[in-house]
Structure 1
Amino acid sequence: MGSRKVLIVDDSKAVIDALTVAFEDAGFEVATAADGEEVFRKMASVEPDAVLLDVYMPRLNGADVCRLLKAHPHWRKTHLVLMSSRIGEGERDVYRRLGADEVLRKPFDAAAAVAAVMAAAPGA
């Protein structure tokens, strides 16, 4: 079995740094992106098992990225975890309809993000 790969997408360096450490400690190969547009440049080269995606980002928001990834034939099965500090139950349902496999409300413990990815995508 190859290395498990995760793509972490957030415009906050602190969030990226904390998640990177947690996922590397769990044995994941980590790639990062700072905005929604960068996701698409990284997907082909990284081919992640999972993507942790902030909802509110510059240029292309996480909801749009989620919708576009789930519509793409090659990436639709990639496990997507959306993250935001502004998530209520209504938004959670909207993001799941767009294709999010999991929705995490910030702040959360980085270990919770790793557990969410590993539980929902055990091969990841």
Structure 2
Amino acid sequence: MKNKTILVFDDDQAILDIFSIVLEAGGYKVEISSTSHDIIEKVAEIKPDAIIMDNWIPEIGGVEATRLLKSHPDFQQIPVIYCSANNDIESLASLAGAETYLSKPFDLDDLERKIADIIPS
């Protein structure tokens, strides 16, 4: 079975490191990006099985980047976990069209559960 790839969009290097360590320990291949303006090109190149999207990602922001992805016929089926410290994260995730969301600071068990829910094994 090939490793599932998760593409993480976040501008915080510490957060990217945590996602990378935890997800790689879980057997996933992790790709990272600190900007979201080229989301379509990135997704086309990496072909991830899931995406973790930060709300405050530079350039166009998480909501707009997720909407771009979800409006693209080739990539709209890729599940997105919307990630933010905002207290209205549920409505932001819904606005963006994400499948689910993860509050920051996140619980590692919660992260693993969300990933397991959206990526079929």
TM-score normalised by structure 2 residue count: 0.91
Task: Check the 8 A contact 2:39/2:69 in 1, yes or no.
Answer: no
How far 1:12 sits from its partner (Å)? 0.1
Map 1:35-74 to 2 at 5 A: 35-74=35-74
Q: Alpha carbons of 1:40 and 1:87: their partners in 2 closer, same or farther (altered >3 Å)?
A: farther
One-letter amino acid matched to 1:116: K
SS in 2 for 1:8: strand
TM-fit CA distance, 1:94: 4.3
What SS does the aligned partner of 2:40 have?
helix
Q: Contact between 1:18 and 1:110, CA under 8 Å: does it hold in 2?
A: no
Matches within 5 A, 1:105-120: 105-120=103-118
Cross-structure match for 1:24: 24
Unaligned runs of 5+ in 2: none
Report percent identity of matched pairs. Answer: 26
Aligned AA for 1:121?
I
| Deviation of the 1:97 alpha carbon | 4.3
SS in 1 for 2:57: coil
User: CA RMSD, aligned part only?
Assistant: 1.5
* CA drift at 1:36: 1.0
Following superposition, which runs of at least 4 residues in structure 1 exceed 4 angstroms of deviation?
A: none
CA contact (8 A) 1:19 1:110 kept: no
Quick check: 1:79–1:117 contact (8 Å CA) kept in 2? no
User: Which secondary structure state, in structure 2, belongs to the residue aligned with residue 36 of structure 1?
Assistant: coil
Relative distance call for 1:20 and 1:114 in structure 2 (3 A) is same
| Aligned counterparts of 1:76 and 1:39: Cα–Cα separation in 2 | 12
SS at match of 2:37: helix
- TM-score normalised by structure 1 residue count: 0.89
The DSSP-based 3-state class of the residue aligned with 2:48 is coil
Equivalent pair of 1:22/1:111 in contact (CA under 8 Å)? no
